[in-house]
Amino acid sequence: MSVYRRVVVQVSVGAFLLALFLIPGMTHAGGLFLTEFGTEDVALAGAGWAARAQDASTLFKNPAGMSRLEGNQFQGGLQALYFQSGGFSGTNTPQGGNGGGNPVGVVPGASGFYVHSLGKDFKVGLGMLGNFGLGLKNDQGFVGRYYVKQATLVGITFAPVASYRVNEYISIGGGPNVMVAYLKNTVNINTLGQGNGDGQLYLSDTTAGVGGQFGILVEPQKGTRVGVTYYSPIKLDFSTSPTFSNLGTFGSTLQGNGLLTRNIDLGMTVPQHVILSGYHELSDRWAVMGDFGWEDWSDFGKVDVSVSGGASPTSLTTTSNYNDTYHVGIGTQYRLNPEWLLNGGFAYDSSMVSAADRTLAAPVGATYKFGLGANWLMNPKVKLGFSYELAYIGDMAISQNRSLQAGEVTGAYKDTMMHFFAFTMNWGSQGVIFGPGGQAS
363 in any annotated domain: yes
Tens of pLDDT along 201-234?
Answer: 788 899 999 999 999 999 999 999 999 999 999 9
In a domain, 257, yes or no: yes
88 vs 103: CA distance, rounded Å: 9
Check whether 288 has a pLDDT greater than 80: yes
Q: What mean pLDDT do residues 112-118 have?
A: 98
According to the model, what pLDDT value does residue 156 have? 95
What is the reported pLDDT for 401?
77
Question: Quick one: pLDDT at residue 317?
Answer: 58
Residue 136's pLDDT band, with cuts at 50, 70 and 90, is confident
The predicted model gives 123-150 an average pLDDT of 85
Q: What pLDDT band is residue 23 in, cutting at 50, 70 and 90? A: very low
* Phi, psi (deg, nearest 5) at residue 23: -80, -45
Task: Show the CA angle centred on residue 358, arms to residues 352 and 364, nearest 5°.
Answer: 50
Per the structure, how many domains does the chain have? 1
In the prediction, which pLDDT does 161 show?
99
pLDDT at 270 exceeding the cut of 70: yes
pLDDT at 365: 86
Closest to 329 (Cα-Cα) out of 343, 309, 313: 343
More confident residue, 32 or 278: 278
φ, ψ (nearest 5 deg) of residue 167 = -155, -170
Say if CB 345 and CB 329 are below 8 A apart: yes
Q: How confident is the model at residue 30 (pLDDT cuts 50, 70, 90)?
A: very low
Q: Determine the residue type at 412.
A: A
Q: Is residue 437 part of a domain?
A: no
Averaged pLDDT score across all residues of the chain: 84
pLDDT at residue 262 is higher than 70: yes
Q: Does residue 137 carry a pLDDT above 70?
A: yes
Q: What domain range includes position 419? A: 3-428
Give the model's pLDDT for residue 403. 63
pLDDT higher than threshold 70 for residue 196? no
**C-alpha–C-alpha distance, residues 332 and 288, integer Å:** 4
Q: Which of 373, 384, 382 lies closest to 440, judged by CA?
A: 382
Name which of 22, 13, 18 is nearest 357 in CA terms.
Answer: 22
Q: 59 pLDDT exceeds 60? A: yes
Q: Could you tell me if residue 433 is inside a domain? A: no
For residues 399 and 410, the answer to whether their CB atoms sit within 8 Å is yes
Query: How sure is the predictor about 241, in pLDDT bands with cuts at 50, 70 and 90?
Result: confident
Q: Is the pLDDT of residue 8 over 70?
A: no
Q: What local confidence, expressed as pLDDT, does residue 245 receive?
A: 76
The pLDDT, as a whole number, for residue 329 is 98
* The pLDDT value given to residue 42: 97
Phi-psi region at 214: left, alpha or beta (left = phi > 0; alpha = psi -120 to 50) = beta
Q: 434 in a domain, yes or no?
A: no
The pLDDT score that the predictor gives to residue 10 is: 47
Enter the pTM of the model: 0.88
Tell me the sheet residues that pair with 213. Answer: 175, 231
pLDDT digits (tens, 9 = 90+) for 298-329: 877 666 566 665 555 555 556 677 889 999 99
Residue 60 belongs to some domain of the structure: yes
The terminus-to-terminus CA distance of the chain in angstroms comes to 83
CA 142/CA 140 separation, integer angstroms: 6
* pLDDT, average across residues 39-56: 97
pLDDT at 423: 98
Q: Is residue 337 part of a domain?
A: yes
What 3 state SS string does the chain have?
A: CCHHHHHHHHHHHHHHHHHHHCCCCCCECCECECCCCCCHHHCCCCCCCCCCCCCCCHHHHCHHHHHHCCCCEEEEEEEEEEEECCCEEEEECCCCCECCCCCCCEEEEEEEEEEEECCCCEEEEEEEEEEEEEEEECCCCECCCCCCCEEEEEEEEEEEEEEEECCCCEEEEEEEEEEEEEEEEEEEECCCCCCCCCEEEEEEEEEEEEEEEEEEEEEEECCEEEEEEEECCEEEEEEECCEEECCCHHHHHHHHCCHHHCEEEEEEEECCEEEEEEEEECCCCEEEEEEEEEECHHHHCEEEEEEECCCCCEEEEEECCCCCEEEEEEEEEEEEECCEEEEEEEEEECCCCCHHHCCCCCCCCCEEEEEEEEEEEEECCEEEEEEEEEEEEEEEEEEEECHHHHCEEEEEEEEEEEEEEEEEEEEECCCCECCCCCECC
Rounded Cα gap, residues 297 and 24, in angstroms: 12
Q: Nearest CA to 301 among 355, 263, 358?
A: 358
The domain that contains 212 carries what CATH number?
2.40.160.60
Can you give the pLDDT at residue 199?
78
Lowest-confidence region among 102-106, 326-330, 335-339 = 102-106
The pLDDT score that the predictor gives to residue 409 is 82
Q: Which amino acid is at 204?
A: S
pLDDT digits (tens, 9 = 90+) for 350-390: 998 888 888 777 778 899 999 999 999 999 999 999 999 99
Contact 336, 342 (CB under 8 A): yes
Question: Does the pLDDT of residue 62 top 60, yes or no?
Answer: yes
Q: What is the mean pLDDT of residues 51-59?
A: 98
- CA angle, 417 as apex, 416 and 422 as ends, to 5°? 160
Whether residue 271 lies inside any domain: the answer is yes
Of 24-28, 154-158, 176-180, 255-259, which gets the smallest average pLDDT?
24-28
User: How remote is the C-alpha of 396 from its chain's centroid?
Assistant: 19
Confidence of residue 164 (pLDDT cuts 50, 70, 90): very high
